[in-house]
Amino acid sequence: MPRIDPDIAVHNITLKPDSKPVKKKMRKMHPRIALLVKEEIQRLLYVSFILPIDYPQLISNIVPVTKATGGLQICTDFRDLNLACPKDDFPLPSIDQLVDLTAGHEMLSLMDGFSGYNQILVALSDQHKTAFITPWGTFYYHVMPFGLKNARATYQRAMTYIFPDIMHTILEDYVNDLLGKSKHCNEHLNVLTIIFDRLLQYSVRLQPKKCVFGVLSGKLLGFIVSLHGIEVNPSKVKAILEMPPPKNLKQLRSLQDPIHYMYAKPHLNQCITCWLMLLTDLDLKFVQQKSIKGQTITDQLAEAPLPGEQFTNFNFPDELITTLSLREESYQMTLFFDGSKCQCGGGAGIVLIPLDAEPMPLSFQLDFPCTNNTAEYEALVLGLQVALHLGVKSINIFGDSQLVVNQVMGIYQCKNEELQKYKHYVDSLLTSFTRYSIQTIPRSTNKFVDTMACLASQIPTSPTDSDIFILV
């Protein structure tokens, strides 16, 4: 199959300097699927899309996906390779602008590239990085496959090189989707002639089954465009319009939580896997939510409400001063602790509950870089120190960190040098109590303390700020 000249476009796979090669073990698959994979491998070998390889340094797995036509498509799981590759910042066209530029034209022709990405070769020095494993051996891609991180940027760069003078005039392009347009019907034949001559010049092939020529309206990137403007694609909203109203509580809940409904359906897992593979091209990054929802505190107050005769004292002397009080005869106490880590430091939250007095919640900000385990140990140490200052002799300790609790109890061996220092100090503090117990609890039970730790880690403070604790 003719391909785009490597002097025009070739896909380079650049790895980060600190990346390490990852070799994945072959996933098990049903023998029937394995036979279909064999047929697809033979087809790819016949068209020289892939070649066998011995002793590859990087190995990816495959995900067989059934096509709508009944055949099988092999998707390669390049997630580890994509993580090791820096992002190609070549810009992709704005979909909104493409749709707006297309609307208002009298005649359109929609074209799709034949095995679009496979028309571009992978750089010879980088082809071994695309190696994947199957029940029939290990192979690597000679052409650019789907699923690579910067594949779309490479293809868009090629199209920009091929159509620089006619783009946004008689042609719109988004990766491998081409659209020819003309203001008047009698001009459209000339438009197609110019586009086809350019495609032949650079050996770009189209998929005839996916091409539509000389139409008054067509589907472009999820929208219906025509001379009259932009319309919603009926196929995109058909399911919503034809959806029957819920008739029972179960159907209503499926509408309220569609994500849970999707994952609860086994037959949808294959579709979700295919979608996730396509999303790997987008370089999506998960950013943790910065704020803490007030729902957590609301749930805690609902589960443990204050007595009706107890009044809240709003006379707080100062923002930076916390007053604690404890009866002299109270020597037994319960401690809940939790730690939280953020980019600039961390936070520690504790709740001390005397035997016959009010609970005492405390939050501490850790202004030094720490890990989650370090923050958990800091919270435990601070809780024990406060309890000793209050004269507590018997204490019951609860935390949701299995590592910290089991290391203190001696069930887990502490091998980390930094955590060993924390453990020795905790052991020395526990010797000051006449009786103590420590055990793990579910994270859902420790919501309130976890919220306090998260709040402490995210509230900004100036270098001159300081917290003063007055123990009475």
Instruction: List pLDDT tens digits, range 336-362.
Output: 998 887 766 688 888 888 877 778 888
- Phi first, then psi, for residue 386 (nearest 5°) are -65, -40
pLDDT in tens, 385-429: 988 888 888 899 998 888 888 888 888 888 888 888 898 999 999
Q: How far apart are CA 209 and CA 336, in angstroms?
A: 65
pTM of the entire predicted model: 0.51
Average pLDDT, the chain: 80
Contact criterion met (CB below 8 Å) for 362 and 467: no
Tracing tokens 């109203």 back to the chain, one arrives at 245
Strand partners, 72: 66
Q: How far apart are CA 448 and CA 464, in angstroms?
A: 28
What is the structure's pLDDT at 472?
32
Mean predicted confidence (pLDDT) in 443-465: 70
Contact criterion met (CB below 8 Å) for 344 and 354: no
- Phi first, then psi, for residue 312 (nearest 5°) are -85, 135
Secondary structure letter of residue 187 according to DSSP: G
Q: Give one DSSP letter per residue of 59-86, joined into a string.
A: BBEEEEEE-TTS-EEEEEE-HHHHHTSP
pLDDT in tens, 264-291: 665 566 666 777 777 766 667 666 655 5
Report the candidate in 110, 246, 123 with the shortest Cα–Cα distance to residue 180: 110
Q: Is the pLDDT of residue 114 over 80?
A: no
Spell 160-189 as b/e; 16+ CB within 10 A means b.
eebbeebeeebbbbbbbbbbbbbeeeeebe
What is the structure's pLDDT at 330?
46
Strand partners, 179: 110, 172
CA-CA-CA-CA torsion sign (244, 246, 250, 252): positive
What is the structure's pLDDT at 113?
80
Contact criterion met (CB below 8 Å) for 83 and 27: no
Q: How far apart are CA 62 and CA 430, in angstroms?
A: 53
**Helix (H, G, I), strand (E, B), or coil: what is residue 372?**
helix
Q: How far apart are CA 239 and CA 259, in angstroms?
A: 16
Report the candidate in 395, 313, 384 with the shortest Cα–Cα distance to residue 354: 395
All residues at 6 or more sequence positions from 366 whose CB lies less than 8 Å from its CB, including other chains: 339, 345, 346, 347, 348, 375, 378, 456, 457
What is the structure's pLDDT at 117?
78
What is the structure's pLDDT at 138?
92
**Per-residue confidence band for 470, with pLDDT thresholds at 50, 70 and 90:** very low
What is the structure's pLDDT at 132?
92
**Per-residue confidence band for 167, with pLDDT thresholds at 50, 70 and 90:** confident
What is the structure's pLDDT at 261?
67
Q: Is the pLDDT of residue 166 over 60?
A: yes
**Per-residue confidence band for 173, with pLDDT thresholds at 50, 70 and 90:** confident
Would strands 332-341 and 394-399 be described as parallel, antiparallel, or unpaired?
parallel
What six digits make up the tokens of 90? 């070549």
384: enclosing H helix or E strand: helix 372-389
**Per-residue confidence band for 462, with pLDDT thresholds at 50, 70 and 90:** low
Q: Is the pLDDT of residue 73 over 60?
A: yes
**Per-residue confidence band for 206, with pLDDT thresholds at 50, 70 and 90:** confident
Of the given ranges (6-20, 234-248, 282-296, 458-472), which has the lowest mean pLDDT? 458-472
**Per-residue confidence band for 328, with pLDDT thresholds at 50, 70 and 90:** very low
Report the candidate in 346, 351, 359, 318 with the shortest Cα–Cα distance to residue 467: 318
pLDDT in tens, 428-452: 999 988 888 898 888 878 778 787 7
Q: Is the pLDDT of residue 293 over 60?
A: no
If one compares 250 and 309, the residue with the highest pLDDT of the two is 250
Tracing tokens 């010797």 back to the chain, one arrives at 431
396: enclosing H helix or E strand: strand 394-399
Contact criterion met (CB below 8 Å) for 236 and 222: yes
Mean predicted confidence (pLDDT) in 28-56: 89
Q: Give one DSSP letter per residue of 213-250, joined into a string.
A: EEESEEEETTEEEETTEEEE-HHHHHHHHTPPPP-SHH
Tracing tokens 């420590």 back to the chain, one arrives at 438
Contact criterion met (CB below 8 Å) for 40 and 244: no
**Considering the chain, what percentage of its residues have pLDDT values greater than 90?**
6
What is the structure's pLDDT at 412?
86
Q: How far apart are CA 200 and CA 193, in angstroms?
A: 11
Contact criterion met (CB below 8 Å) for 117 and 130: no
Report the candidate in 66, 75, 44 with the shortest Cα–Cα distance to residue 146: 75
**Helix (H, G, I), strand (E, B), or coil: what is residue 32?**
helix
What six digits make up the tokens of 366? 């850790």
**Helix (H, G, I), strand (E, B), or coil: what is residue 278?**
helix
CA-CA-CA-CA torsion sign (110, 114, 115, 117): negative
Q: Is the pLDDT of residue 115 over 80?
A: no
